[in-house]
Amino acid sequence: MATHVSEYLRLDKMPHIWCPGCGTGIILGAVVRAIAKLGYKRDDVVVVTGIGCSSRTNAIIDFNTFQTTHGRALSFATGFKMARPEMKVIVITGDGDGSGIGGNHLIHTARRNIDITTILVNNGIYGMTGGQYSPLTPRGCIASTAATGTMEPCFDMCELVKAAGATYVARGTAYHATMLEQLIAKALEHHGFSFVEGIAQCPIGFGRRNNQKTPVDMLNWQKDHAITIAAAAKASPEELAGKFLIGEFVNKEAPEFSDVYWEASRKAQQKVKEAR
């Protein structure tokens, strides 16, 4: 059995709870393969999730894990990172969890540039509760709460966290799983707030209603609609119509929040000592 499976998954939880062909499993595969390549020890990693199918990753992944309340994974993760800055802190969240109920936490965590890697599994729907539309459901798609199609535009999460101050931002898909693994590895090695959006299929909550009947149809949709940043730079407006970008959008350095905090704390203690 491959190391990323035997070392980093709870084998007694297999087969896992996700539906056949669910994209979350492919994204989890990219996460554990990236960690295996980087050689992190299980005890050095904390994985924090919220609520949703994607957040159930924590029942399956075998690190220090903490499943928290809906949308609040980043707040708990911030607490961990501040208390134990030497730990690798990873948040796995869904589009509802991370951009809906937890959207405010996300922008402020990005603004602080705290060293947390966030993987947002974007299946464009509230999977666990029956396919209600989320802030990331593309306009016009059918959802259990949008019988004739959603009337709202959706967020571009990479643009949002970039504007908020994230220092590593990338997007991949379950179809392009090898590229996704590489982007996740770079995010994990980045010092600062890193964000990777993984476009994933939810055949049950999304595909069935939107003419993508099988997991294979949904993966083909990802293949046909994703375009790399490099290819997009050379493409005509016609070629770009209806496409979304994949690749690395931001990779820069800025002061990291827990570094700044502990340095200020050290200085304050020094001052107290000198005053005595």
Partner 1 sequence: MGKYTIKVQPKWCKSCGVCVAFCPKQVLVLDDAGKASVQNLEACIGCRLCEIRCSDFAIEVGGENGE
Ligand X SMILES: Cc1ncc(C[n+]2csc(CCOP(=O)(O)OP(=O)(O)O)c2C)c(N)n1
Q: Which H or E run includes 66? A: strand 64-67
Q: Which H or E run includes 121? A: strand 117-122
Choose one: 19-27, 36-44, 66-74, 83-91; the region binding ligand SF4 (CB under 6 A).
19-27
11 in Cβ contact with 30 (< 8 Å): no
Q: Is 205 or 247 the residue whose CB approaches ligand X more closely? A: 205
Examine residue 19 and tell whether it contacts partner 1 (CB under 8 A).
yes
CA distances from 232 to 78, 159, 162, 227, 249 (A): 35, 16, 19, 6, 13
Residue 15 binding result from partner 1, ligand SF4, ligand X, none, given CB thresholds of 5 to 8 Å by partner type: partner 1
Rounded Cα gap, residues 172 and 244, in angstroms: 10
Least distance from ligand SF4 to the Cβ atom of residue 117, Å: 21
Q: Is 52 or 192 the residue whose CB approaches ligand SF4 more closely? A: 52
Examine residue 204 and tell whether it contacts ligand SF4 (CB under 6 A).
yes
Cβ atoms within 10 Å of 80's Cβ, excluding its own: 17
Name residues contacting partner 1, limited to 202-231 (CB under 8 A): 214-216, 219
Residue from 26, 35, 196, 202 that binds ligand SF4 (CB under 6 A)?
202
Residue from 181, 197, 248, 256 that binds partner 1 (CB under 8 A)?
181
**Residue in 75, 92, 104 with CA at minimum distance from that of residue 184:** 92
Examine residue 18 and tell whether it contacts ligand SF4 (CB under 6 A).
yes
Beta strands of 130-225 (E only): which ranges?
Answer: 168-173, 194-199
Residue 126 binding result from ligand SF4, partner 1, ligand X, none, given CB thresholds of 5 to 8 Å by partner type: ligand X
153 in Cβ contact with 139 (< 8 Å): yes
Sign of CA dihedral 246, 247, 253, 255: positive
Residue 30 binding result from partner 1, ligand SF4, ligand X, none, given CB thresholds of 5 to 8 Å by partner type: partner 1
Cβ atoms within 10 Å of 196's Cβ, excluding its own: 27
Rounded Cα gap, residues 22 and 18, in angstroms: 6
Least distance from ligand SF4 to the Cβ atom of residue 215, Å: 8
Examine residue 15 and tell whether it contacts partner 1 (CB under 8 A).
yes
Under DSSP, the state recorded for 62 is -
Which residues contact residue 111 at a Cβ distance below 8 angstroms, ignoring those fewer than 6 apart?
A: 164, 165
Quick note: the x/- pattern for ligand SF4 over 73-112, rule CB under 6 A, is ----------------------------------------
137 in Cβ contact with 150 (< 8 Å): yes
Examine residue 20 and tell whether it contacts partner 1 (CB under 8 A).
yes
Rounded Cα gap, residues 177 and 166, in angstroms: 23
Choose one: 11-19, 97-105, 119-127, 251-259; the region binding partner 1 (CB under 8 A).
11-19
Q: Is 36 or 154 the residue whose CB approaches partner 1 more closely? A: 36
Query: Which positions touch partner 1 (CB under 8 A)?
Result: 1-2, 5, 9, 14-16, 18-26, 29-30, 33, 174-175, 177-178, 181, 214-216, 219
Residues lying near ligand X in the complex (CB under 6 A): 51-54, 70, 94-97, 121, 123, 125-129, 134, 202
